[in-house]
């Protein structure tokens, strides 16, 4: 019964950390609402899209006489803002952002107009969308599943390290194996499909996702080494488990791959 409760606790912690990471990341859709007269318009603005096609930006509204326009420019450039009018269909207002190369970003704003009053949906600050290549499900699904299991076994090992009657050694081996397979093998494959490079962390770049994986891997390898010859190494295991949890709480894709437009010609 105690083992079941420990696994259940580890599962709850893992689910919570994974959801928090996804929901707070800079590529998670921007959601909010704006009130125009007596109507509340709830909207969702994309912050991630694939490179193969333009990205639709849609504002669901049936307010009579409402108009809108989309402003955009390449991120971190001196480009002028491009403005395009949104068109009306049966679901609301719609316009499209032009697709960009892998890791390319656009800053954009949506402004609604009703009775000569403007309503900027994101205030004074634009939001940023990043484009990525298509990652096949046969790569992405195993990557996500194995990384989830790595976090689950890591958390369970940390709980076991707190119990003097438990032996967390097997859990350490499972965590190291899963983290290596999901983060150090499948992770770079996902990165290559999405952004054209297998590794953009240390020593080749500053990609935070790659660097987080590397730090977590080092932490768990140290825990594994310190527990050789049957040593409990409970402090090292607990530290590695806490380290991976902290890493999971860092928003996903923060400081991720970013195209330097100064190195390419404007299309």
Same domain, yes or no: 190 and 107: no
pLDDT band per the 50, 70, 90 thresholds, residue 155: very high
184: exposed, middle or buried (Cβ count in 10 Å: 0-12, 13-18, 19+): middle
Q: Are residues 126 and 20 in the same domain?
A: no
Residues 174 and 215 in one domain: yes
Are 121 and 160 members of one domain?
no
Q: Give the CATH number for residue 78.
A: 2.60.40.10
Q: pLDDT digits over 21-54, tens only?
A: 777 777 889 999 998 888 889 999 999 999 999 9
**Token pair for residue 77?**
């450039």
Q: Alpha carbon of 103 to those of 4, 23, 42, 50, 128: distances in Å?
A: 43, 20, 28, 10, 12
Is residue 253 domain-resident?
A: yes
* Mean pLDDT of the 196-215 span: 84
| Residues 55 and 138: beta-carbon distance below 8 Å | no
Asked whether residue 139 falls in the same domain as residue 63, the answer is no
pTM of the model: 0.84
For the residues 141-147, what does the mean pLDDT come to?
95
The alpha carbon torsion through 84, 82, 23, 203 (nearest 10 deg) reads 150
Residues 250 and 173 grouped into a single domain: yes
- 154 by Cβ neighbours in 10 Å (0-12 / 13-18 / 19+) ranks as buried
- What is the pLDDT, as a whole number, of residue 266? 53
Same domain as 255, residue 146: yes
Segment among 132-136, 142-146, 148-152, 232-236 with least mean pLDDT: 232-236
**CB contact set of 132 (below 8 Å; sequence gap of 6+):** 48, 49, 50, 51, 102, 103, 194, 195
CA 235 – CA 40 distance, rounded (Å): 53
Q: Check: CB of residue 95 under 8 Å from CB of residue 57.
A: yes
DSSP-H helix ranges across the chain: 2-24, 137-161, 169-179, 187-195, 208-226, 234-248
CA distances from 134 to 85, 192, 193 (A): 29, 10, 6
160: domain range?
2-25+135-261
Q: What is the mean pLDDT of residues 136-142?
A: 95
Q: List, for residues 164-187, the tens digit of each pLDDT value.
A: 888 888 999 999 999 999 999 999
Contact 178, 144 (CB under 8 A): no
Rounded to an integer, the average pLDDT of 222-251 is: 88
CA–CA separation, 205 and 82 (whole Å): 31
Residue 170 lies in a domain: yes
Torsion of CA 30, 33, 36, 39, to 10 degrees: 140
Say if 6 falls within a structural domain. Answer: yes
Paired tokens of 104: 């390319």
């Amino acid at each position: 019964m105690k083992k079941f409760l420990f696994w259940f606790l580890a599962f709850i912690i893992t689910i919570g950390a994974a959801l928090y990471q996804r929901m707070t990341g800079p590529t998670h859709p921007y959601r909010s609402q704006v009130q125009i007269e007596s109507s509340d318009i709830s909207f969702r603005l994309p912050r991630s899209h694939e490179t193969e096609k333009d990205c639709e930006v849609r504002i669901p509204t049936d307010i009579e006489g409402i108009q809108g326009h989309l402003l955009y420019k390449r991120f971190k450039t001196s480009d002028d803002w491009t403005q395009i009018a949104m068109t009306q269909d049966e679901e609301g207002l719609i316009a499209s952002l032009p697709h960009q190369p892998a890791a390319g970003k656009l800053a954009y704003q949506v402004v609604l107009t009703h009775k000569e009053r403007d309503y900027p949906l994101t205030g004074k600050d634009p939001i940023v969308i990043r484009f990525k290549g298509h990652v096949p499900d046969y790569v992405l699904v195993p990557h996500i599943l194995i990384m989830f299991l790595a976090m689950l076994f890591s958390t369970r090992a940390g709980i076991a390290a707190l119990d003097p009657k438990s032996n967390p050694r097997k859990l350490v081996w499972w965590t190291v194996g899963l983290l290596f397979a999901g983060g150090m093998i499948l992770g770079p494959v996902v990165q290559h499909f999405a952004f054209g490079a297998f590794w953009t962390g240390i020593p080749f770049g500053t990609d935070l996702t790659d660097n987080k994986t590397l730090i977590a891997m080092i932490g768990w390898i140290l825990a594994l080494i310190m527990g050789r010859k049957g040593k409990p190494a409970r402090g090292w295991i607990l530290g590695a488990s806490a380290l991976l949890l902290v890493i999971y709480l860092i928003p996903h894709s923060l400081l991720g791959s970013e195209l330097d437009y100064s190195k390419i010609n404007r299309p």
